[in-house]
Chains A and B, each alone.
Chain A
Amino acid sequence: MDNNVKQENIDFEELEKKQKWETVSKLWYKFSRNKLSVVGLVVIILIILAAVFAPYIVPYPEHGGPYTDFMNANKAPSSEYLLGTDIFGRDVLSRIIFALRGALSIGIVVLAISVPIGVTVGLIGGYFSGTWIETVVMRITDVFLGIPPLILALAIAAMLEPNLTNSMIAITVSWWPWYARLIYGMSSSLRNEPFIRAAELTGANLPHILFKEILPNCYGPIFTKMTLDMGWVILNAASLSFVGLGEQPPIPALGNMVSNGADYLPDYWWMAIFPALAIMIIILAFNLLGDGVRDMLAKEEG
């Protein structure tokens, strides 16, 4: 504490880099203490890479589109077709990998839109707790909370056409209120903490208080939920495509692969089982990753 070193001797850029590095390594340490979280991370990275580089790595690139080869239809898993073929003769493995693209994009798009909206609504509702602003904001949230994604998607499909974009809209609309709820709880309790009072008394404006003071204290739950939600959104999207909404054929989607393949159970079991397994693995991987994110961002005591 009795440091009389003049500031000219301190290299601030070095110091900043050093602090940031320390923060990152501490985060990694906390994340990686649970080996399963690392497994989840690795699987997700592989999935992402597979989705991005799909056309270059799949065994049969053309099978991701309107391809037919009835000579090779309904073939069981073999060395030629690792996961078998479907009724049109398309390689199941290739189609699953292509389907990952749609799955991941739905997850990303839905969260990229619903999280900012939900978090902002929650921050405002919580900060103004006890006033009419809170009442209005949170009751609107409650209304949206009551909308089940599937029903909404059916309604939208009936009004517009069933496609990927519209199923994204449907899921987004029903997803943001959960973030609003989550953040509302945290925001309304943090709102009375002395450090928020201190910021107000200093003269900080509302956006600063909401986004620079309250929000950073919510990162843990937000990112954990986002990670777990990727799995849930993908599952929801699969449910939509299962009933024919979402990605339309011939573009492969995990859900419609399962529903189409289900007609041929138990004889041509591979057509339904492998896409279903893919869904399971994706969700499991995100769950494991989510545990790690939660550990990583958990607040330390003292």
Chain B
Amino acid sequence: MNDIILEMKNLKKYFPTKKENMYVKAVDGIDVSIAEGDFFGLIGESGSGKSTTAYMVMGIYEPTAGKVLYRKKDISIPSVQRSLSLKRELQIVFQDPGTSLNSQRTVGQIVSLPVAIHKRLHGKKLKNKVIEYLEEVELPAEYYYKHPNEIGGGEKQLVAIARALATDPSMIILDEPTSALDVSVQAKIINTLRRLQNNFDLSYLFITHDLSLMRNIATRVGIMYLGKIVEVGPVEELFLRPQHPYTKMLISSIPVVTKEEEKLRPKNIKSKGEIPSPVNVPPGCGFHTRCSLAEKICKEKEPDIISISEDHQVKCHLFDTD
């Protein structure tokens, strides 16, 4: 049983609105535990709060309440206040490589920055190290002098990955890194990420809306809806035996491409309704407005987190023990 590397305890982020006492409850009390070597998939649609969660872990946002713990240390502080060694250990790859790479700098300059800061190399040694990282992500060394706008979307994302890798981190947060990419390019990037995880002993927190992708690569997944985690567990368990109605709705909505996959989709649950605004979270269980199994209690009381098995939890009244 590996050590826990990242934990979130009752983490909340509320954004104020112009009206008094009205907040955008982007993240509304989540608990997550990620062990070393895990590939944790945080799945949610828009408005679920998954990106906000990632940003709190990185210190881009400060939590409104709750804590983020890295290797048992409380890191719920903005990134400007964080130590250089924490910045080295915890890195992020953003969703859109078009904006996460400075178009005015070359690939070489972009990847050199972390190496220069954390490894204190310069000159030829620096250049050689940077080329090592480019080769790790299977980019040709000639790309050193290229600008981001001269290379394709998938390759840009590989540069972003090389940049994250170049600090020798322990954990990388990946915020929908392949959502904007074509399928064949995504496959390449995912393959690279898996290889890197093996070679460098990394832990991943992977934020996405793509369930099929998580089915293939994650070890554990958490499903987010309206700022809360409604189900969490090992990936195979969650897909073969989804419990929460939202999880089932998600799986049934995936446009699959093979007959075998079709058989796996829950038959009796079809997507309906829209996600409510996080400013106006419905009382009780946030999902009740779209749930065909909603009962009276769902509209009044927020469900507790119930353990189905040792590492599989659901937040739903259907599983109340009384």
Q: Tell me the A residues contacting B by CB distance below 8 Å.
A: 1-3, 5, 7, 10, 12, 15-16, 19, 193-204, 208, 212-213, 216-217, 219, 299-300, 302
A302 to B148, CA, bound (A): 10
The answer to whether A204 touches B80, judged by C-beta atoms less than 8 angstroms apart, is: no
* Partner pick for A203 among B88, B101, B103, CB 8 A cutoff: B88
What is the distance, in angstroms, from B142's C-beta to the closest C-beta of chain A? Answer: 6
Which residues from chain A contact B141 at a C-beta distance below 8 Å? Answer: 5, 7, 10
A2 to B60, CA, bound (A): 36
Closest residue of B by beta carbon distance from A215: B104
Q: Given A19-B145, A202-B114, A216-B104 in contact, is the A197-B87 Cβ separation under 8 Å?
A: no
Which residues from chain A contact B144 at a C-beta distance below 8 Å? Answer: 12, 15
The 8 closest A-B CB pairs, nearest first, are: A216-B104, A3-B140, A194-B100, A19-B145, A195-B102, A203-B87, A194-B99, A194-B94
Which residues from chain B contact A193 at a C-beta distance below 8 Å? Answer: 99
The answer to whether B146 touches A201, judged by C-beta atoms less than 8 angstroms apart, is: no
A299 to B102, CA, bound (A): 12
Per the 8 Å Cβ criterion, residues 151-170 of B in contact with A are 155, 160, 163, 167
A216 to B94, CA, bound (A): 21
Q: Does B190 lie at the interface of the complex (its beta carbon under 8 Å from any beta carbon of A)?
A: no
The answer to whether A194 touches B96, judged by C-beta atoms less than 8 angstroms apart, is: yes
The answer to whether B113 touches A7, judged by C-beta atoms less than 8 angstroms apart, is: no
The prevalent SS among residues of A at the interface is helix
Which residues from chain B contact A7 at a C-beta distance below 8 Å? Answer: 131, 135, 141
Most A CB atoms within 10 A — which of B59, B114, B127?
B114
The answer to whether A217 touches B104, judged by C-beta atoms less than 8 angstroms apart, is: yes
The answer to whether B105 touches A202, judged by C-beta atoms less than 8 angstroms apart, is: no
| A-B contact sample (20 more), CB < 8 A, given A201-B91, A203-B117 | A1-B138, A1-B139, A1-B140, A1-B155, A5-B141, A15-B145, A194-B94, A194-B96, A195-B100, A195-B101, A197-B60, A198-B160, A198-B163, A201-B59, A201-B79, A202-B167, A208-B113, A213-B102, A216-B105, A217-B102
Per the 8 Å Cβ criterion, residues 122-147 of B in contact with A are 127, 131, 135, 138-142, 144-146
Q: Given A194-B99, A216-B104 in contact, is the A201-B140 Cβ separation under 8 Å?
A: no
The answer to whether A195 touches B99, judged by C-beta atoms less than 8 angstroms apart, is: yes
Which residues from chain A contact B114 at a C-beta distance below 8 Å? Answer: 202-203
A196 to B105, CA, bound (A): 12
Which residues from chain B contact A208 at a C-beta distance below 8 Å? Answer: 113
Closest residue of B by beta carbon distance from A203: B87
Q: Given A7-B131, A15-B145 in contact, is the A202-B87 Cβ separation under 8 Å?
A: yes
Per the 8 Å Cβ criterion, residues 186-204 of B in contact with A are 188
Closest residue of B by beta carbon distance from A299: B103
A198 to B138, CA, bound (A): 22
A194 to B173, CA, bound (A): 14
Q: Does B250 lie at the interface of the complex (its beta carbon under 8 Å from any beta carbon of A)?
A: no
Q: Given A194-B94, A201-B92 in contact, is the A300-B142 Cβ separation under 8 Å?
A: no
Per the 8 Å Cβ criterion, residues 63-100 of B in contact with A are 79-80, 84, 87-88, 91-92, 94, 96, 99-100
The answer to whether A200 touches B79, judged by C-beta atoms less than 8 angstroms apart, is: yes
Q: Given A201-B58, A202-B114 in contact, is the A15-B100 Cβ separation under 8 Å?
A: no
Q: Does B241 lie at the interface of the complex (its beta carbon under 8 Å from any beta carbon of A)?
A: no
Q: Does B118 lie at the interface of the complex (its beta carbon under 8 Å from any beta carbon of A)?
A: yes
The answer to whether A200 touches B99, judged by C-beta atoms less than 8 angstroms apart, is: no
A216 to B101, CA, bound (A): 13
A198 to B117, CA, bound (A): 13
Q: Does B292 lie at the interface of the complex (its beta carbon under 8 Å from any beta carbon of A)?
A: no
A7 to B127, CA, bound (A): 11
What is the distance, in angstroms, from B274's C-beta to the closest C-beta of chain A? Answer: 28
A204 to B144, CA, bound (A): 20
A53 to B117, CA, bound (A): 48
Q: Does B46 lie at the interface of the complex (its beta carbon under 8 Å from any beta carbon of A)?
A: no
The answer to whether B99 touches A19, judged by C-beta atoms less than 8 angstroms apart, is: no
The answer to whether A10 touches B142, judged by C-beta atoms less than 8 angstroms apart, is: yes
The answer to whether B138 touches A2, judged by C-beta atoms less than 8 angstroms apart, is: yes
Which residues from chain B contact A213 at a C-beta distance below 8 Å? Answer: 102, 105
A209 to B284, CA, bound (A): 46
A293 to B82, CA, bound (A): 42
A265 to B87, CA, bound (A): 73
* Partner pick for B113 among A204, A219, A299, CB 8 A cutoff: A204
Which residues from chain B contact A212 at a C-beta distance below 8 Å? Answer: 105
Q: Given A1-B139, A15-B144, A203-B84 in contact, is the A198-B103 Cβ separation under 8 Å?
A: no
What is the distance, in angstroms, from B51's C-beta to the closest C-beta of chain A? Answer: 11
Which residues from chain B contact A203 at a C-beta distance below 8 Å? Answer: 84, 87-88, 114, 117-118, 167
* Partner pick for A19 among B87, B92, B146, CB 8 A cutoff: B146
A238 to B290, CA, bound (A): 74
A197 to B100, CA, bound (A): 8
Q: Does B33 lie at the interface of the complex (its beta carbon under 8 Å from any beta carbon of A)?
A: no
A274 to B118, CA, bound (A): 62
Most B CB atoms within 10 A — which of A15, A195, A219?
A195
Which residues from chain A contact B280 at a C-beta distance below 8 Å? Answer: none
Q: What are 13 A-B residue pairs whose CB atoms fall within 8 Å in the complex?
A: A2-B138, A7-B135, A12-B127, A15-B144, A19-B106, A194-B94, A194-B96, A199-B102, A201-B79, A201-B91, A201-B92, A203-B167, A217-B103
